Every structure is written in C-alpha cells, then in structure tokens.
Structure 1
Amino acid sequence: MVQWLRSLIFVVVIYLWMAVLGLVFTPYALVSKRGALKACKLYARSTLWLARWMVGIRGEVRGEVPTGEVVVAAKHQSFLDILLIFDAVPHAKFIMKRELLWTPIIGVYAKRLGCIPVDRGKRGMAVAKMVKDVAREFSEPGQLVIYPQGTRVAPGDYKPYKVGSAVLYDGLQYPCVPAATNVGLFWPRKGIRRKPGLAVVEFLEPIPPGIARDIFMARLEEAVERHSKALMAEAGFRAE
C-alpha cells in the first residue's frame, strides 16, 4: 500500500512537472529546436532522478551508446525506456503515433524535435510516408528510434515484429542498433504501481547496412528478444 501511494504521488508529480517545464520552455522551443531538445533532456533526466528517489527505480544504460546517424530498433515496454533512450543518445527522433501530435505539450515538442508521426490505420501509405518524412528530417543529424513491434509489450508477452524497421533500414542505408530492455518489470505499461529495482536499456551490436530484409528482420528480432529475456531473468523474472 505504501509503495502504491508513493507511486501515485510520483505519477502526479512527473506529469505536473511535464506541464510546468513544457510551458516555461515553450517560447524558447518555438524559436529554437535546440530549446526543445534542452527542455526534453531536462525532463528526462529529472524524471529518472525522481524515479530513483520516490519509487526506488534505478535506471542504467548498457552497451555502446550510438551517437551518429543510426536507426535504433528498441524493445518497448513502458514510458521508462523512452526516457532512458532519450537521455542517453544525443538527439533522438521517435517514430510515433500520429494522434500524439494533438496531445498538449507533447505534440509541440515532438514536432520541434523532428519526431515522425505515423498513421497506423493506413499501413501501406503510412510506411511510404514515413520513409519520405524521415528522409526530410534527416537533413539534420540524429538517432531515429523505432519500436519494431509497434506498441508497448508487457514482460512475458509477444507481439510480431513489423516491417517498418526493415523499410527504414533499407531506405536510409544506416546501421541499425538493436536495443533490449527490462523496464516493464518496474514501470508497467498500465497501472499506477511502480516497483523498486534496476531498470536497464542495453544497446546491442549494430547491424551494418546492406543485409537482405528477411535476414535483417530475423537477426533484429533474435537479438532484441534474447537480450531482453536475459535482462528480465537477471531481475528475477521468469516467463511462463
């Protein structure tokens, strides 16, 4: 009960902090993309600090952090893996649901950061437009983050890997850095309660450009799933 109350207070605080910080930085963000990046970096870093202090979640990033132009194909379990990746890399640009653009504060900053909205209801058109939009946004350096399963996946669950990450990998001809995580064990995709523990995002060995699509997809899924299971097992989780 105590942990649940601490978690509730934490959730309220981080969303109020998002609103305050977003409003304070809005004038700077509107005139400068650097201002938007600084605001989001500050939010990610401070929220990770609050998570450690208020609910006992320690964040850790393992592996070689990508700093050049790459596609980061990451396991997605909750908002926490977004925060850890964004804090770690120099300039993350996320593939995101189009409806998030209409979310107060988040939508404004997503546009300024160069995030790419995707209409998930029109798959063929969405993938083609995504490639076009990414090519435009990559006129400025950054790390493009995509979640190959297309949504948050709870520990122990499975959802198939979608073709969008392979399309970007083919079209951009950038290395792809897989990323594994166990964050859903501590910060679930749904609900209030946060559990103390070591939440990890691990950047894995890059996949060089030029590999055939089917081989790329198999290699990506095998790496992300195997390392995510290892991280969850390290934290004491055993899938049924």
Structure 2
Amino acid sequence: MLVTLRSSIYFAAMILSIGVFGLAIVTVGMLLPLSARDRMAAAWGSTNLWLMKVICGLKYRVHGAENLPQQAAIVMCKHQSTWETIALKAILKPEQSWILKQELMRLPVFGWALAAIPNIPIDRGAGRKAVKQIVERGTELLKQGRIIVIFPEGTRTAPGEKRKYGIGGSLLAEKSGYPVVPMAHNAGVFWRRRGLKKYPGTIDVVVGEAFDPKGIKASEITRKVESWIENEVEKLPSRPR
C-alpha cells in the first residue's frame, strides 16, 4: 500500500516536471543555444532521479563510470523500464540525441520538447527506410559531437525475458566508425514494464568499455553488444532488496 502511494505521488511529480521543463525548453530554451536546451533536458533527468530517491526510496549506482563517453559515441542500452529513458538524460553528458519512436513526437509538451532537441524519430514499420534514416541522420549528429542513444531491443523487455536486438544502431556504428558503448542495468526489477509501482532499492547500471566498430560487420556488432549486455544483466540482482 505504501509503495503504491509513494509511486502515485512520484507519478504526479513526474508529470509536473514534464510540464515545467518541457514548456521551458520550447519557450525560453528556443531563444537560447542548443547547448542550453541540452542542459535543461539533463536537469529534468537529474530532478526526477532526486524525486525517485526522496519519494520512492529508489536510488541507483553506476559501475564502470570511467567508461561513460565524453565524446561522440553510440550508446546501446538495455531497455526494461521507463527509468532508463529518464536516467540516461542525467547519467550521460547533456549532448544527446535519441533514436525513438515517431509516436512520441505527437505527445503534448513532452513531444514538443523532444522536437526542440535533434533526436531521430523513426517509423518502426518503415523497415529499410527507418534504418537508412538512422544511419544518415545519426552520422550527421555524431559529427557534431553528440551521443546517439539507442535501445536495440526496440521496446521494453521484462527482466528474465529476451527480445531480438535490432540492427539499426549496429549499422550506424559500421557505417560511421564511431565507438560503441554498451550499457546494462536491472531497472525493470524496481520499476516494472507498464507498471506504476516503483519499489525501493538501488538500481545497478553497468557501463561497458567502448569498442571500435571499424572493420566489424553490423551483424557481429549486434552479437557483441547483445552478448555483453545479457551476460551483465544476468549478474545483477533480480528482485528488489
């Protein structure tokens, strides 16, 4: 009962934060350089991590923080929960562009804020056209020094389950030659897929060493990333504690 109450309070606070930060990004932020909008988005992530800690007792720790990219790179991350879509804004450097589903851009305020930052919205049913868009636009943004964030599973996958990893991010790595940084975590244990409840505890985030994709085929990059992520996830706690 207490978990549900705390989770409901946080949910209301999160919605309020989207309104405040989202409107700030699309109003004042649009009059400022892109770097200011990036920092505002990062501040939104940090604010929500603090709210989760204070309201829900949900914390996190990063293993391998020295591997967090400071230059342009392709971050391929496990996707279990809504948590990582918030937390990575604060954990990674502010200059981020995300590969995300096109439908998110239609959401009031949140979608407007996404559009104010150079993300890569794709139609997941577009097949090769979507992959081409990822490679072309992703390469442009990498050349600008930005981090490209992608969830290769494409959608949230519950802890203990596996889903086929998509090849879009790997093709971007193969064609662009920028380093790949894999990330694993167990956020789905504490904030379940499609769940309201946020259980207290500490989420473990593991950052792998960057690797150079030059000379490696996209299919092999995918296998390398998937193997590392899934092996790391298996080592992490599988229940709140």
CA contact (8 A) 1:19 1:105 kept: yes
- The Cα of 1:167 is off from its aligned counterpart by 0.8
Determine which of 222, 232, 241 is the counterpart of 1:217: 222
Aligned to 1:23: 23
Aligned to 1:10: 10
**Residue segments in structure 2 that go unaligned for 5+ positions in a row:** none
Q: The residue matched to 2:198 in structure 1 has which SS?
A: coil
- The Cα of 1:38 is off from its aligned counterpart by 2.2
Q: The residue matched to 2:84 in structure 1 has which SS?
A: helix
**Bigger CA drift: 171-180 or 25-34?**
25-34
- Equivalent AA in structure 2 for residue 89 of structure 1: L
- The Cα of 1:236 is off from its aligned counterpart by 6.5
Q: The residue matched to 2:42 in structure 1 has which SS?
A: helix
- List, as ranges, runs of 4+ consecutive aligned residues in structure 1 with deviation greater than 6 Å: none
Measure the CA separation in 2 of the matches of 1:114 and 1:171: 20
Aligned to 1:157: 161
Determine which of 79, 86, 91 is the counterpart of 1:88: 91
Q: TM-score scaled by structure 1?
A: 0.92
- The Cα of 1:192 is off from its aligned counterpart by 1.1
Q: 1:59 to 1:94 in 2, by over 3 A?
A: same
Q: The residue matched to 1:113 in structure 2 has which SS?
A: coil
CA contact (8 A) 1:94 1:146 kept: yes
Measure the CA separation in 2 of the matches of 1:115 and 1:31: 19
Asked whether 1:182 is paired with 2:182, we answer: no
CA contact (8 A) 1:73 1:146 kept: yes
Q: TM-score scaled by structure 2?
A: 0.92
CA contact (8 A) 1:85 1:201 kept: no
Aligned length: 236
Aligned to 1:102: 106
Q: 1:236 to 1:23 in 2, by over 3 A?
A: closer
- Equivalent AA in structure 2 for residue 193 of structure 1: K
**Residue segments in structure 1 that go unaligned for 5+ positions in a row:** none
Measure the CA separation in 2 of the matches of 1:10 and 1:111: 25
Determine which of 120, 144, 148 is the counterpart of 1:144: 148
Measure the CA separation in 1 of the matches of 2:156 and 2:139: 26
Q: The residue matched to 1:162 in structure 2 has which SS?
A: coil
CA contact (8 A) 1:57 1:197 kept: yes
Deviations along 1:133-166, one digit per CA (max 9) or x if unpaired, are 2233334211101111111111111111111121
CA RMSD across the alignment: 1.7
Percent sequence identity over matched residues?
28
